[in-house]
Amino acid sequence: MNLLRSSLVASLIAVTGLSVVPVSSARAADDLGGNAVTGVCLLSREAIFAQAKVGQAASERLGQLAEQSRSQLVSQRKPLEADIQSFQKKQSSLSEAQRTKEGSALQQRMQTFQTQAGELNQRIQLTRAKVMQRIGLDAQPIVASSYKSHHCGLLLNRDAVLAGNLANDLTPDVVHGLDQKITTMTFNLEPLPTAKGK
C-alpha cells in the first residue's frame, strides 16, 4: 500500500506540474533556521495529498481498482497460457496447415490480451489523474484562505526548498482544512476517451 501511495503522490506531482525534491531536504532546511522571510510562504502538495484523509482514501480506492484489474487479467491469462502450452506439446503432430491455423489463433488471442492489459493500465492512470485533479480543486480555496490569513506575497513549493526558515509553511493548515471539508471520495475506473469522428 505504501508503494501505491508513493505512486499516487508521484502522479499528483505530475498532474500539478511540481518538481519533486526529497522531503529530507525540507527537514534539512529546518536545521539551518534563519529568519522567516516576510510574505514568503511555503506549501507541499506532496505532503497534503499524502497526509490528508481524502488523499489516503483515494490511494486506498485506487489500490482496490488496480487489484481488481490485476485479478481480471490473471483470470484471462491462465486459460491462454494453458492453451499455449497445449499447442507447444502437440504442434509436432499437427500438419503445417493446422499449426499455422492454431498458432495464428493463439497469437491473435495474445495480442487481444496485451491490448486489454494496456487499456486497463491507461484507465488506471486516467482515473488517478482525475482524482488528483478533484482533490486539488477541493484544496484550492483552502490554500487561498491560508495564503491570505498568513499575509503571503509569494507561495513556493516547500519540497524544492534547500535551506531556510520554514515558519510560513501553509501545509499543516491546508491538510487540516481539507480534512474538515472532505475525508473520502468514491469513484470507479474512468473509461478510455473515444476517438473523435467515430
Q: What is the pLDDT of residues 128-186, one digit of tens each?
A: 889 988 998 999 999 999 999 999 988 888 878 777 777 888 999 999 999 999 899 88
Residue among 46, 50, 58, 60 at smallest CA distance from 1 = 60
In angstroms, rounded to a whole number, what is the distance separating the alpha carbons of residues 178 and 45? 12
What is the reported pLDDT for 160?
A: 80
In angstroms, rounded to a whole number, what is the distance separating the alpha carbons of residues 182 and 31? 34
The number of domains in the chain is: 1
Residue 28 covered by a domain: yes
Residue 12 covered by a domain: yes
Residue 114 is given by DSSP the state: H
**Residues sharing a CB contact under 8 Å with residue 43, sequence separation 6 or more, in sequence order:** 143, 155, 156, 157, 158, 169, 170, 171, 174
Residue type for position 104:
S
Burial environment of residue 28 by CB neighbours within 10 A (0 to 12, 13 to 18, 19 or more): middle
In angstroms, rounded to a whole number, what is the distance separating the alpha carbons of residues 39 and 37? 6
Identify the H or E element spanning 42. strand 40-43
Residue 151 covered by a domain: yes
Residue 9 covered by a domain: yes
Record the pTM.
0.65
Reported as a single tens digit per residue, the pLDDT across 113-128 is 999 889 998 999 999 8
Reported as a single tens digit per residue, the pLDDT across 59-79 is 999 999 999 988 988 888 899
What is the reported pLDDT for 23?
A: 42
Write the CATH number for 130.
3.30.910
Residue 83 covered by a domain: no
Domain of residue 133 covers 2-68+126-181
Distance, first Cα to last Cα, the chain: 39
Residue 109 has pLDDT above 70, yes or no: yes
Residue 49 covered by a domain: yes
Residue 19 covered by a domain: yes
